[in-house]
Structure 1
Amino acid sequence: MKTAIILFLSLISVSCFAQEIVVQDSLKNLEQLSFMKGTWTGNGWMFINKEKKEFTQTETISSKVDNTVFMVDGIGYSKENKDKVIHNAFGVISYNIEEKSITMISFSSTGGKMENPITLIGDKKLEWSFKDEKGGTIRFREDFSEDGFWIEKGDYSFDGNNWFPFFEMRLKKIIE
């Protein structure tokens, strides 16, 4: 009985230690993206059914669960019709311990649910991409290097070499 209790307590200790490592890895890796947190607003455009639509966008990024998860909530309204939603997306950014990468699970009114790794491509710059149902690649690049601004561009490629812009927004941080 005494051996069973010692074994049980050892397993609990190992489990708690492993959880602490996961939390520390998450904090360390998400800290690289702390510049994203805040409320941002500005303008953008995107192609919808081969027609360029302009919109005003607000994005709010906040940390949750002791800074181990970021929540991204964005909504954009048509410049022509201020009541019409053009761009609506929600995402959760976290550290994927198995993949050893920062991952975003996102939901949008146009793309459904996706899970994508985020790659840091420079100081305050990141990129994420995915394949579409036609076999092409959709890529988003986000640039926060200009102090107080978030510039995001979306491109599409049929072959991975030639890229065509279909989305862009420029936001200014209004709340830290």
Structure 2
Amino acid sequence: MYPTTLLLSLAITGACLSAQPPVAPTPDLQLAELKKAAFLEGTWKGTGWILLQQGKREDFTQTERVVFKLGGLVLQIDGEGRKATGELIHQAFATMAFDSDGKTCHFRPYNLQGRFIDAACQVPAAGLMQWTLDLPRGQTRYTISLTPNGQWYEVGEFSLDGKEWRKTFEMTLTRDK
């Protein structure tokens, strides 16, 4: 009778333990890593240029709105660039977040056709952010840095081999107060 009671007791204990919900990871690591990108938060305005597919350079004025969402776990970036005529030339919408381990950064930009890509990103230090995308015929990277005078400076580049880079985009923005 004792072995039956012991087995029944173990079975009930095992069932109770397995029925407990898993312990949810705390977002501390995610919050800490994404906090490095806090320098982007706010509304920014300025100018820039983009090299279009036809090789034509277009100047634009840009506005970027950057806000933290979901308690600081996701960074939302929303930007519009317009020609002097007011015509929309560059539109950016992206989200940025870290995995629960705080090591893997996900940058997801969307385009005007509703498509998105998952790009590798990193925030190696406060005031610096970079995202890269491997393409069938090369690689694109964008680097955003905070200048000593507090401006958002962004450069977009393309490389066929990952060694020689050609600038395809540049803008400088000032925080709107």
AA aligned to 1:73 is D
Distance 1:115 1:56 in 2: 27
Post-superposition shift, 1:120? 2.8
Q: Which residue does 1:33 correspond to in 2?
A: 37
TM-score, structure 1 as length reference: 0.84
Is the contact between residue 42 and residue 57 of structure 1 (CA under 8 Å) also seen in structure 2?
yes
Percent identity, please.
25
Post-superposition shift, 1:139? 1.0
Quick one: structure 1 residues 110 and 152, their matched pair in 2 at CA, closer, same or farther if it must change by over 3 Å? Answer: farther
Q: Secondary structure at the match of 1:113?
A: coil
Q: Which residue does 2:171 correspond to in 1?
A: 169
Moved more, 60-69 or 119-128: 119-128
- What are the superposed Cα offsets for residues 15-52 of structure 1, whole Å, 9 maximum, x if unpaired? 2x3x242x222111111111111011100001112111
AA aligned to 1:85 is L
Give the counterpart of 2:100 among 97, 101, 107: 97
Moved more, 110-119 or 43-52: 110-119
AA aligned to 2:97 is S
Between structure 1 and structure 2, the one with the greater Rg is 2
Aligned length, in residue pairs: 166
Q: Which residue does 1:130 correspond to in 2?
A: 133
Q: Which residue does 1:6 correspond to in 2?
A: 16
Distance 1:103 1:71 in 2: 12
- What are the superposed Cα offsets for residues 112-145 of structure 1, whole Å, 9 maximum, x if unpaired? 4111121234441121111223x21111111114
Distance 2:112 2:146 in 1: 25
Structure number having the greater strand percentage: 1
Quick one: structure 1 residues 74 and 117, their matched pair in 2 at CA, closer, same or farther if it must change by over 3 Å? Answer: same
Give the counterpart of 2:161 among 135, 159, 162: 159
Distance 2:88 2:34 in 1: 30
Q: Secondary structure at the match of 1:32?
A: helix
Quick one: structure 1 residues 67 and 122, their matched pair in 2 at CA, closer, same or farther if it must change by over 3 Å? Answer: closer
AA aligned to 2:58 is K
TM-score, structure 2 as length reference: 0.83
Unaligned runs of 5+ in 1: none
Is the contact between residue 123 and residue 145 of structure 1 (CA under 8 Å) also seen in structure 2?
no
1:46 equivalenced with 2:56 (yes/no)? no
Give the counterpart of 1:66 among 38, 51, 71: 71
Structural RMSD (CA): 2.3
